[in-house]
């Protein structure tokens, strides 16, 4: 609903082996540059703010499928680490392995770093 029929035909007519989400962003940049040259955008600071806002909106509404895959991978990795790094049962008498009831500090640090990277 954001493209005209002519724009949609042009977008579908482009040959690219990659996702074409960036094409409207390029179109917008060209239109914004023309608006600046024609005096519709009063100065370079306004143009910069306009372009930054558009880039942020495209980044937020872009390919969310990849973000969902990464989010699932991070949570799955954390849960696997949390279960896989548990202490051994001391009743089994494994040589050199004593009961370890410590907080998994490094696993928690990994989780915090990965979740922080996801937010970025």
Domain count for the chain, please give it. Answer: 2
Q: Which two tokens stand for residue 19?
A: 């996702």
Give the end of a domain, one of 33, 60, 87.
60
Q: Which residue has the tokens 């991978």?
A: 73
Do 35 and 50 contact (CB within 8 A), yes or no?
no
CA distances for 71 relative to 56, 67, 109, angstroms: 20, 6, 17
| The two three-digit tokens of residue 95, written as one number | 């040589």
Which two three-digit tokens encode residue 90? Answer: 């001391």
- Looking at the structure, tell me whether residues 22 and 43 fall in a common domain: yes
Encode the chain (120 residues) as per-residue pLDDT tens digits: 677 888 888 888 888 888 777 787 888 889 899 999 999 999 999 888 888 887 777 666 655 566 778 788 888 888 888 777 777 666 777 777 666 666 778 888 888 888 888 777
Shared-domain flag, residues 82 and 100: yes
Q: What is the pLDDT of residues 17-52, one digit of tens each?
A: 887 777 878 888 898 999 999 999 999 998 888 888
Q: What is the pTM of this model?
A: 0.43
The predicted structure's pLDDT at residue 1: 61
Structural domain boundaries enclosing 28:
5-60
Is 61 buried (19+), middle (13-18) or exposed (0-12) by CB count in 10 A? exposed
């Amino acid at each position: 609903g954001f493209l005209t029929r002519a724009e949609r035909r042009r977008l579908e007519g482009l040959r690219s082996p990659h996702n074409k989400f960036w094409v409207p962003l390029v179109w917008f940049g060209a239109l914004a540059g023309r608006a600046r040259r024609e005096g519709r955008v009063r100065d370079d600071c306004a143009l910069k703010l306009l372009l930054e806002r558009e880039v942020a909106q495209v980044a937020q509404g872009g390919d969310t499928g990849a973000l969902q895959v990464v989010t699932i991978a991070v949570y799955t990795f954390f849960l696997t680490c949390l279960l896989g790094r548990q202490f051994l049962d001391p009743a089994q008498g494994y040589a050199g392995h004593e009961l370890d009831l410590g907080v998994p500090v490094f696993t928690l640090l990994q989780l915090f770093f990965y979740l922080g990277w996801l937010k970025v």
